[in-house]
Amino acid sequence: MNKVLHFFAIAIFLSILTVQTSAQNKMVVYQTDFGLKDGAVSEMKGVAMSVSPDLKLFDLTHEIPAYNIWEAAYRLEQTVRYWPKGTVFVSVVDPGVGTSRKSVVLKTKSGHFIVTPDNGTLTLVAQSLGIAEVREIDEAINRRKDSQKSYTFHGRDVYSYTAARLAAGVITFAQVGPPLAGKIISIPYQYATLAGKTLKGDIPVLDVQYGNVWTNIPGDLFNKLKPKFGDKLHVTIFNKSKQVYEGDMPYSQTFGEVAEGKPLAYLNSLLQLSFALNMGDFAKMYHVKSGADWSVEVSLK
C-alpha cells in the first residue's frame, strides 16, 4: 500500500509541476511599429522558432505609428482579453531602445503575459485586466546568444527570445527575472467619469479606415444618462484643454439613421461611445486626433 501511495504522490507532484511549467499555451502574438517592408518582424519570429518550432506565432499589428507608445497601449487593451489565457504578447514600440528604460514581462490577473519595454505601453491593459506580477527581464539569462553587441534591436534579441522561452515552457515566469521594483510607467489621461450630467473621457484611438472618433466612455457609464435613440447629445472635444470641436448630434443605432455627411453618436464594436459622419470622415473634417492629450465632454440636450 505504501508503494502505491508513493506512486500516486509522485504522479500528483509531476502533474502539478507540468501545470506550473506549461501555464503558457505556446502562442505568441506580436505588435510593433516596424511595418512589414523589411525583415525585422521575420527576424523576431525566426528567433522564436529557433527556441521551439512547436510555437504558434501570430500578429496583432505592425502598423502602430512610429514611436506612438499610446497607440501600442490601446491596441493591447483592445486585443489581449480576446486571446486564451496563457498567451504571450510581445509589444515593441521602443523609442528609448538602448537607454535605461526597463525591459519587463507583465502577468495580468487574467493570466496573459506581455513582454515589452516599461515605457507606458502597459498603461491601459494593467488597469483593465489587473497586474498579477511584473518581472524585469534578466538579460544575463534571457537574451539571444552572442547578441550583446546589438544595442538597437531588443525586440529580436531580448523580447522575442524571452517570450518564446516563456511560451514554450523553457522558463517559468519566475525565471524571467526579479520582480520589478516600484510601479510600471503609466501615461496620464482623462479617465471616463460622470460628473453630474456630464460625461468626460478621452479619445484613445481613431477608426482610421473611416475617420470615426472612438472614446473610452463605456456603454454602461453612458447609459447612466438614460439616453434613448434619437436623443441629441452635446459633444465638445479638446486637445490639451483647447476646444477643437463643439456640436450636437443624435444618439443612433445605425449610421443610416442620419443623412449622408451628418454627424451621429453611437456605440462602437467595443461598446464605447463614438462619433462619426455618415459616409464621411469625422476626424478629418474637424481635425480631431487621438491620444492621451485628447479629451471629450458629453451631455444630453
Q: What is the pLDDT of residues 162-217, one digit of tens each?
A: 999 999 999 999 999 999 988 999 999 999 999 999 999 999 999 989 999 999 99
- Per-chain mean pLDDT for the chain: 91
Q: What is the pLDDT of residues 242-297, one digit of tens each?
A: 999 999 999 999 999 999 999 999 999 989 999 999 999 999 999 999 999 999 99
- Please say whether the beta carbons of 139 and 103 come within 8 A: yes
Q: What average pLDDT score do residues 142-157 get?
A: 77
Q: What angle do CA 167, 111, 108 make, to 5 degrees?
A: 110
- Please say whether the beta carbons of 222 and 199 come within 8 A: yes
Provide CB contacts within 8 A for 301, sequence distance 6+: 231, 232, 233, 234, 248
Q: What is the pLDDT of residues 46-77, one digit of tens each?
A: 999 999 999 999 999 999 999 999 999 999 99
**Runs of H (alpha helix) within the chain:** 2-21, 40-51, 69-79, 123-129, 154, 161-167, 219-222, 282-286
Q: What average pLDDT score do residues 118-144 get?
A: 95
Interatomic CA distance for residues 289 and 47, integer angstroms:
36
Residue 1 confidence (pLDDT) above 60? no
Q: How many CA atoms lie within 13 A of 265 on its CB side?
A: 27
Q: What percentage of the chain exceeds 70 in pLDDT?
A: 90
Q: What confidence score (pLDDT) does residue 143 get? A: 86
Residue type, 120: G
Interatomic CA distance for residues 278 and 257, integer angstroms:
9
pTM for this predicted structure? 0.83
Q: 63: closest CA among 267, 209, 167, 186?
A: 209
Kindly indicate the confidence band of residue 16, based on its pLDDT and cuts at 50, 70 and 90: very low
Residue 13 confidence (pLDDT) above 50? no
Question: Euclidean distance between the first and final Cα of the chain, in Å?
Answer: 78
**Ordered structural domains, the chain, with CATH:** 11-176 (3.40.50.10790), 193-300 (2.40.30.90)
Interatomic CA distance for residues 132 and 139, integer angstroms:
22
Q: What confidence score (pLDDT) does residue 258 get? A: 97
Residue 116 confidence (pLDDT) above 90? yes
